[in-house]
Structure 1
Amino acid sequence: MTAFSMLHLSDTHLSDRFDHFRRNNELMLDVLQKSDHDLIIHTGDITLDGIRHEKDFQFCQSFYGDLSREIHYIPGNHDVGDNPRLGRPQSENGSAISQERMERYLAYYGTDRWTIDRASWRMVGINSLLVGTGLPREQEQEEWVRNVLENVGDRHLALFTHQPFFVDEPDPIELSYWTVDPEGRESLRFLMEHPNLKVIASGHLHQQRARRFGSVELIWCPSVAFTTREQLVPEMGGQRQVGYLEHVFHDDGSVATQVRTHPDFQNSHLDDCIGVVYPFA
């Protein structure tokens, strides 16, 4: 049975403005340099606060840019902004996504979506923060996804997104910080219900969890940077431990996932420093 491997990291929250979370990222960099995985994917929140501080992008690009291996990135809310129904606008120094913030991300990373064909699989990475925004790029992304699926043939599909599409099930529809905008998500139901879809892998929640919904594996990647206590992020059944994931994709559509960490990772909690690193929270 043909198989290929992937190293999946997420939520690095890296900046040179603070030392917080730097050590874990340095250790992760060493892991990446020694990696023999076929693919490396980062599911967003690359920067600590790139929506407000462009120098975070400059630092992150330099920090991970010297690797000999390619990393396939998609943005997180700290890279392009939050759902506009949940955050104040950029003009008020709020966290809401904007065209300007999107263009800044694209200037550094080139694209916020991609597709990779490997063996019997098609990997699809999308910008989940666009969903429900009404920005022109949201419609462009939907059309792009439709085109990607038109010729998928018999390939299995694995979807990578910063936010989970949903926690346990897609209904009831209720807007929350923790998932893709449920109203906007309806325009992507054709993707969510595609018969070839086997995996939805995400970050954002700083917890590791793996469950099934029908025939789809719902896999949450932990953060490299930090975890949280329940007072900050509610209990959702995940493990609150920093780390990363290794996936092995098989020709029969199955995926074997292993949770990895580094013996020297610090399992710090955002609760203890949020007022310093995120004064606008």
Structure 2
Amino acid sequence: MASIRIMQISDTHLSPRTHRFHENNELMIDVLKAADHDLIIHTGDITLDGIRFEEDYPFCRSFLERAGKDIRYIPGNHDVGDNPRLSQPETAMGSAISPTRLHRYERYYGADRWSIDRDNWRLLGINSLRVGSGLEGEQQQYDWIGEQLATLGERHLALFSHQPLYVDTPESTELTYWTVDPIGRQNLHELMEHKQLKMIASGHLHQQRSRGHDGVRLEWCSSIAFTTREELVPEMGGNREVGYLEHVLHDDGGIETRAVTIPGFVNSYLDDCLLEVYPKY
């Protein structure tokens, strides 16, 4: 049976302003160099604080280019900004998503969404921070998703997003930092309910968890950089250990996912260095 092998990495959180998290990412470069996967996908938070410091962008790009591999990227909240209903605006040095921050990402990494057809699969990468942002481009992404579904044919579908679309089920209407905006998520109902959607793979939570809902695999990828204790990220049933994921997508729609960690990875906690790497503004 034909299959597609995918390496998913996430939340590298790199910056030239600190050597925190460089050790794990250096080890990951060696793994990437040796990788023979069909695709390598980075599900966001490439930068430590690219929304405030543009210097993080060229540093991250140069750092990961050393692997010599074609990596598909989508942005995370530290790359383009947080939901504006949860955050102060950029003009107040807040973390809210903004056109300036979106354009900065695009200058370094190109489009913030993509579609790949391989064998019997279509893989979609979206900018989850646009969902519910109210910014120009939000509706265009919904329209683009609709076009991808309309031209899907008989292919199976896998979605890659920085944030999970939901934690366990899509019924929750509470706005939280942990998932996409539930109001904006209403515009994704056709995608979430599509009979050919087989997997939603995300990062953001710095936990690894494999579950399912209504026939869809919900795969959370750990961070390469760090994990957290419950004081920062509440208990959601995930494994708090740094690492990455390997997915095998079979032609019949079956999926195998394996969580991988590397000897030498430091399982550091953001709680122990939060004010050092993210000082209050």
TM-score (norm 1): 0.99
Partner of 1:214: 214
Partner of 2:94: 94
Partner of 2:156: 156
The CA distance in 1 between the partners of 2:274 and 2:192, in whole Å, is 34
The CA distance in 2 between the partners of 1:4 and 1:233, in whole Å, is 32
RMSD of aligned residue pairs (Cα, Å):
0.8
The CA distance in 1 between the partners of 2:271 and 2:100, in whole Å, is 30
User: How far is the alpha carbon of 1:218 from its aligned partner?
Assistant: 0.3
The CA distance in 1 between the partners of 2:12 and 2:192, in whole Å, is 27
User: Partner amino acid for 1:235?
Assistant: E
Partner of 1:68: 68
The CA distance in 1 between the partners of 2:267 and 2:249, in whole Å, is 29
Partner of 2:203: 203
Alignment of 1:121-136 (within 5 A): 121-136=121-136
Unaligned ranges ≥5, structure 2? none
User: Partner amino acid for 1:247?
Assistant: H
Residue 256 (str. 1) matches residue 256 (str. 2): yes
The DSSP-based 3-state class of the residue aligned with 1:226 is: coil
User: How far is the alpha carbon of 1:75 from its aligned partner?
Assistant: 0.2
User: How far is the alpha carbon of 1:172 from its aligned partner?
Assistant: 2.3
User: Partner amino acid for 1:37?
Assistant: H
User: How far is the alpha carbon of 1:149 from its aligned partner?
Assistant: 1.1
Alignment of 1:31-46 (within 5 A): 31-46=31-46
Question: Aligned residue pairs: how many?
Answer: 281
Q: Which runs of 4+ in 1 moved over 4 A?
A: none
**Residue range with higher mean Cα deviation, 183-192 or 40-49:** 183-192
Q: Deviations over 1:123-176 (max 9, x none)?
A: 000000000011111111111111111110110000000000000001121100
Q: Deviations over 1:30-57 (max 9, x none)?
A: 1000000000000000000000000000
The DSSP-based 3-state class of the residue aligned with 1:139 is: helix
Alignment of 1:169-248 (within 5 A): 169-248=169-248
Partner of 1:276: 276
User: Partner amino acid for 2:107?
Assistant: A
The CA distance in 2 between the partners of 1:26 and 1:75, in whole Å, is 21
The DSSP-based 3-state class of the residue aligned with 2:227 is: coil
User: How far is the alpha carbon of 1:4 from its aligned partner?
Assistant: 1.6
The CA distance in 1 between the partners of 2:163 and 2:206, in whole Å, is 11
Partner of 1:145: 145
Q: Is the 8 A contact 2:29 2:66 kept in 1?
A: no
User: How far is the alpha carbon of 1:66 from its aligned partner?
Assistant: 3.3
Q: Percent identity?
A: 62
Unaligned ranges ≥5, structure 1? none
The DSSP-based 3-state class of the residue aligned with 2:176 is: coil
User: Partner amino acid for 1:271?
Assistant: D
The CA distance in 1 between the partners of 2:140 and 2:212, in whole Å, is 30
